[in-house]
Amino acid sequence: MTEVRETPIPGCVVVGFHRAHDDRGSFERAYSADELAEVGHGFWIVQANVATTTRAGTVRGLHYQLAPYGEQKLVRCVRGAVFDVAVDLREGSPARGRWFGIELTPENGLAILIPRGCAHGYLSLLPDSQMVYFSDAAYWPAAERVLAAEHEETGIVWPIPVVESSAKDAAASRTDRPEWSGY
């Protein structure tokens, strides 16, 4: 059965799927629409993505899409280790502007559900870390926005120094107020 832990960001939850072990190894679900719906967080997958980050200290994100193109994502680390972060950018949310972060590894088997209207990103803690993203909406490049990983207002505390990012992510302002998501 799926276990869900609430975070300080409404709708952003940490998900743990039951892992069965035997002499061959282990088995667990990566996603279950029915089990997530039973605990009030179900969605249907429209798109699945895999990202591999070769160097520790590389940050990806923080990305979000403006309404009506927002994505709800379930993300998990299947190789290596990452520090995964969500920042609430929803108008009217009691957690607007707050962040939550958690270490995701294959060993802990945790996933994080990121609601629409939240920026999402992660920092690779080990070389060759690999993430799987399940999303309930298609990616719309024109609606994508970037919140700087080291934005002054969010105050994210990364567990290791950020040493690398994409040109697009590095160009995001560290001081400008983010464009609110519209959710």
Active site residues: 63, 133
Which strand ranges, in their side-by-side order, compose the sheet holding 3-6?
A: 3-6, 13-16, 110-114, 73-79, 129-135, 47-53
Sign of CA dihedral 133, 136, 138, 143: negative
Neighbours of 14 (CB within 10 A): 18
CA–CA–CA angle 45, 88, 152 (5° rounding) = 130
